[in-house]
A = this chain, B = another copy of it.
């Protein structure tokens, strides 16, 4: 699957062909092999990444040495460590490709410049940030109030295709399950 950023932006705001050409000219496209990293813990996250194809995961490693996945990024999603990016501090996370992926990188200067040249790009980018932050606000409520089984069912309903794509142990890590518990729930709800 491939998600062209110009088509994606046009779902939310109107772009002229000149606007589209200007945005396209500023794109830095990077192919990442499966298991390749955009950054690791201790490095800086210098860009926001728009996922054009493939799938990324953001995770940290806790004191016990366990990888804990906090986010996935699939086609049409933006992903970054926004603390590292906005405060220019090193990241506590890893950003890795789950499968062969292509991302478009936007550093802060490029976004600020594009927002001046194409004001609706600024509107689009703001809307994306608001939605992602909104999702983080709601996620906290879900994680407090939902049982683990409800979390699984809710996530399956929202992202049915995604469930098939990501290795089960990663999904378990994201949902805070053991792989065995995830397998039990899947059997029960088949």
Contact = CB atoms under 8 A, between A and B. Distances in A.
Interface of A: 60, 62-63, 68, 70-71, 81-87, 92-93, 111-112, 115-116, 119, 122-123, 125-127, 129-141, 143-145, 176
Nearest to A45: B134
Given A82-B137, A87-B131, A122-B126, 5 more contacts: A62-B145, A86-B130, A112-B122, A115-B115, A140-B140
B144 A176 contact: yes
Given A86-B127, A116-B119, A126-B111, A139 B140 contact: yes
Nearest to A83: B134
A125 B14 CA distance: 22
B112 A123 contact: yes
Contacts of A129: 126, 129-130, 133
Contacts of A126: 111-112, 115, 122, 125-126, 129
Nearest to A82: B134
